[in-house]
Chain A
């Protein structure tokens, strides 16, 4: 039963990342996900200091605030100071990350935020903390939390699909059509911060970054239609979760990391297959 729960939890933690990652890939902002997932560290530490526990609402709030703050800073340095976009991402997130590390060191006696757990997550232990009312066992707590996150992300994309798609594909056109591009930009960034913080405790920040980029890019290679890309990204994500857990089980290694390894492997296979097919088409077209 534990195997089942771990796979389900890893899929639930991955789906929102894969969906939002598709938008990020289209907007050429794949590295923003990386930046946000590092920048939320001081937010988590501060919220943790104030609330004293790991699963409080304050943690979401603090992390989301710092996530959005980092995107503001990136945007400001880029547009107002004329700093290159990549450099402004690099400087912003390292700044906030080092601030977070310093805070952890300073308050080390009051915080037991393990650097390892931030990195790898606690996927293998996630089924152990259960949601129990009276004598009824409703399953792992993480399942229900992540289920809620998936619902939130899904409804965000479902209800705002049109403007989000428009802003991602053609920002200029969206602007002319009277869509508030900045609003959608920051709402997307807010959502990315939200899912980053709500999933990183289970799966670790490596898998969050990898889930944001890898399934979406794999799907991006072989789809010409955005809805299809979203479906394919979900499919690849689920595949990598199932196979990745299998690998982790047999080698007895970190689950989150082996899922991201499998994601890379699937990407490689799809990339090579796509290359071969398109080469074949080229030859066929040339009549060879």
Chain B
């Protein structure tokens, strides 16, 4: 049985799995990992019942503080550390955890328990003064932002934590407490209060979620990946998320904390680096990945930390897959029996299939191509056309039927009409988050950004080929080709499975029946996804249709509603996946 510290607080020890309604989503996933026999950092949870009592009375229940004391003592015993004291200080993370996730709830506060004294103890323990200072700074920043809900002042690295606290007090109206237990009390209260934040209320109202469910608070021991050579942190995918190959793929940083991996400041090593230093931890990790994949019936993305050779799992969730990996993985999971064929079809979106099957520059053409400029690929796809440096001109030429590439130093809202008219957009300055990149992606346009100051002016008037994935701009109109879905094993299988689910048939132009389809190629309205439904509804007695936007997701929905027996498309998989999805939702 899970350890109860009284009426409101539970220690998670993996003995059983308390209800999600009681402990919230975050603690539930920790408890679930423990139930699979895996090690997560020790945690206790203040239940949603405590929050409900808080909401009813406007104050924390009287017995709660004493229960939290017991919870902290329990964490101290399990970690061999002391909360707020050296020589081995215990720091914790505090998270909100509603039974259903919703916006506006309090974010995670990390490193809670740090103050001048514990910072010094931490510095001595891991032999890294800068890390201890950074841990302290991060806590103060999070506390100001999340608990005090105010814009934290920019921290000057030359200042001491005491000066930071004073700056926060001045700007946010209150200073973060130095006593760890006070920090914890305030954070728990902030979680409860976030239940009634404006955004959370608005969300519950819109989604019909009861206002009195309440949120739990998860208090979890922080583990440190930077204590010695046998410590580190990393990420493991249970299969390769780029290629879809059935082999674990991971990255590891020895002597590092979680943020170091994400920050990109350090180059992570392959998993073998973990095997050399802590072979037992690697073995435990690979076993955990297999267990989690079986239990989750999907590829897992696992964050982990190794503390003095011992593995801790911080988080596991279904992995994001590249479009190229989605189909092979879905088919493999179905063949292994983890999911059925129907589920495999639903795991691959029409958009993913369309991306993989979209035309790319032919390999032979690429070899002899002359590179004119290159930057950062910000939105994938290939665009071919005449380079134009002005948005008005781009629009004018496009209206006359010319294919144009818009090349600008940067783009601003004034360039929107030129971007809409272009086959691709390229800029001289700006990165993947720039205006051009954001709008390019929103429009589904190939886009290359940051080619360098002055790199594009000379290109005006030339015909070029832009590859928005690789960020390269080539001279001339290069030959392009689209992959053949029939030669792709996973796609061929998905075509077959999806066809069994789809209420209408999708046939290639080469099929004999295709000739009987009504051809919408010259119908202007049919090219507009917003108007295709009206066009199809007006077709009387037609069995099938081709051309226009009929293969788009809107087109497929409309074709089903109009009672068509088939549509003609090349490739067939994207509309077929859309049709299969539509059938399961109806």
Q: Is A bound to B? A: no
B residues within 8 Å of A by Cβ? none
